[in-house]
Amino acid sequence: MRRVRDWWAAIPEAERVWLVEAERLADRCGGGGGYNMPDGYGDCPMCSSPSPGGLCNLCLEQHAYIIAKADAAMKEIHANRTA
């Protein structure tokens, strides 16, 4: 779904900040193995948990939850406008 003003308004400010930061950091990081990390693993840019490059599973779930929440709100807004 397109991220228009109403889409962003459907989620609280703290979640908007988290989402923007997570996407910004995930785009930059790679799976560079750390000191005691297996090859292909690195730290999650949001919580520093081990992950195979990018966000860890917990942060990926949070990311998907926020997007689904905003998408559902947009569908409701669209349904109310067409009704």
Summarised one tens digit per residue, pLDDT across range 11-58 is 999 999 999 999 888 777 654 444 566 677 778 889 988 888 788 999
Domain tally for the chain? Answer: 1
What confidence score (pLDDT) does residue 19 get? 94
pLDDT of residue 82 exceeding 90: no
Range of the domain at 26: 5-82
What confidence score (pLDDT) does residue 17 get? 95
What confidence score (pLDDT) does residue 9 get? 92
Mind spelling out the 3-state secondary structure of the chain? CCCCHHHHHCCCHHHHHHHHHHHHHHHHCCCCCCCCCCCCCEECCCCCCEECCCCCHHHHHHHHHHHHHHHHHHHHHHHHHHC
